């Protein structure tokens, strides 16, 4: 059985098709219920962009595990240079899925900023479930293309506002993406992130979409 476990902010632990994956492992965030040493058995570490609240403790997790790092090419190259080694990083770009061991990972457009390479979202494709983590992003018309091309089983969507979509914009993103289930993220960590998950849930439900909104507390998981 697979699952998505929220670790606070935009950090998630994902188990799918027998692979354990960490996405944006800022494990020292104020909401965190986990530590880098908890993930010695992780298979992949995926980072959407190099801002500190997303890159987080990715390098530390890599040093404590045998995981492979997946991200935009320039960021993956930098991670390799931190003593990790080129053989343990998979650098890609916005475009087609990268075929890994038992899963495929596609880096998707994100409207944001980054210091190394470009910001991205990530779509994990597997026989068990397809999971979309939007990263940090504003509302983008490209989301409709993802919803047309892929069945998204679980969407992880930022709602906090200021740096990303707010609940109103995030609800529109859900309308375009058409996920079966959506989990809000990137809210409540700092005072400037004003978006509330209750407002997001209400706005999605008002649209009459065939999407279930699941609000997790840090440490809770959604099983599928």
pLDDT band of 45, cuts 50, 70, 90? very high
pLDDT at residue number 182? 99
Query: Mean pLDDT across the stretch 30-34?
Result: 94
pLDDT at residue number 33? 92
pLDDT at residue number 50? 98
Helices and strands: H and E segment counts in the chain: 6, 14
Query: Mean pLDDT across the stretch 201-210?
Result: 97
Residue 131 parent element (H or E):
strand 131-133
pLDDT at residue number 56? 98
Q: Which CATH architecture has domain 3-217?
A: 4-Layer Sandwich (3.60)
Tokens of 75: 């960021």
Question: pTM (2 decimals)?
Answer: 0.98
Tokens of 117: 């390479």
> What are the pLDDT digits (tens) for 66-122?
999 999 999 999 999 999 999 999 999 999 999 999 999 999 999 999 999 999 999
Residue 63 parent element (H or E):
helix 58-63
> What are the pLDDT digits (tens) for 129-172?
999 999 999 999 999 999 999 999 999 999 999 999 999 999 99
Nearest to 69 by CA among 43, 49, 50: 43
Q: Where are the domains of the chain?
A: 3-217
* 3-state class (DSSP) for residue 217: coil
Residue with tokens 């699941």: 214
> Is-contact 168 198, C-beta < 8 A?
no
Angle 129-177-160 from CA coordinates, rounded to 5°: 100
Query: Mean pLDDT across the stretch 15-33?
Result: 97
């Amino acid at each position: 059985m697979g699952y998505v476990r929220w670790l606070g902010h935009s950090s998630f632990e994902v188990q799918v098709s027998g692979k354990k994956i960490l996405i944006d492992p800022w494990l020292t965030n104020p909401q965190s219920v986990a530590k880098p040493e908890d993930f010695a058995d992780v298979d992949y570490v995926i980072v959407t962009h190099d801002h500190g609240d997303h890159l987080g403790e990715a390098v530390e997790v890599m040093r404590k595990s045998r995981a492979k790092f997946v991200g935009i090419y320039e960021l993956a190259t930098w991670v390799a240079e931190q003593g990790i080694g080129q053989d343990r990083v998979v650098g890609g770009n916005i475009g087609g899925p990268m075929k890994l061991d038992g899963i495929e990972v596609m880096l998707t457009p994100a409207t944001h900023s980054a210091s190394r390479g470009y910001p991205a979202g990530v779509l994990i494709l597997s026989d068990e479930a397809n999971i979309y983590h939007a990263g940090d992003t504003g509302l983008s018309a490209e989301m409709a293309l993802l919803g047309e091309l892929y069945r998204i089983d679980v969407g992880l969507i930022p709602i906090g506002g200021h740096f990303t979509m707010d609940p109103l914009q995030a609800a529109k993103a859900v309308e375009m993406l058409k996920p079966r289930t959506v989990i809000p993220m990137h809210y409540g960590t700092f005072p400037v992130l004003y978006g509330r998950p209750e407002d997001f849930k209400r706005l999605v439900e008002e649209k009459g979409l065939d999407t279930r909104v699941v609000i997790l507390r840090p440490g809770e998981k959604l099983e599928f």
